[in-house]
């Protein structure tokens, strides 16, 4: 159990790295090159959702560490 406690931060970083890699591949394949508005909305909304999840995870992690 202490092993998981020591590496909780990596449990947050690994999915974030996978998401960034996936998004980077999509952009390099021309995802936003079409200049269509819905593509940009999908991109921005996915970024907002991931940032909200990341903030929630970090705040929860910090709360558990402080208590």
Task: Give the pTM.
Answer: 0.69
Tell me how many domains the chain contains: 1
pLDDT digits (tens, 9 = 90+) for 30-62: 887 888 888 889 889 989 998 898 888 888 877
CA distance 35 to 18: 25
Contact yes or no for 44/23 (Cβ under 8 A)? no
pLDDT digits (tens, 9 = 90+) for 3-34: 666 777 777 788 888 988 988 888 888 887 88
- Per-residue CA distances from 40 to 23, 36, 47, 53 (Å): 12, 7, 11, 20
Q: Which two tokens stand for residue 62?
A: 């910090």
Contact yes or no for 46/23 (Cβ under 8 A)? yes
Closest by CA position to 38, among listed 46, 48, 50: 46
């Amino acid at each position: 159990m202490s092993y998981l406690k020591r590496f909780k931060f990596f449990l947050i970083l690994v999915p974030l790295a996978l998401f960034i890699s996936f998004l980077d591949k999509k952009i390099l394949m021309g995802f936003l090159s079409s200049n269509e508005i819905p593509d940009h909305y999908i991109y921005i909304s996915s970024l907002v959702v991931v940032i909200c999840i990341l903030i929630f995870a970090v705040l929860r992690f910090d709360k558990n560490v402080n208590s």
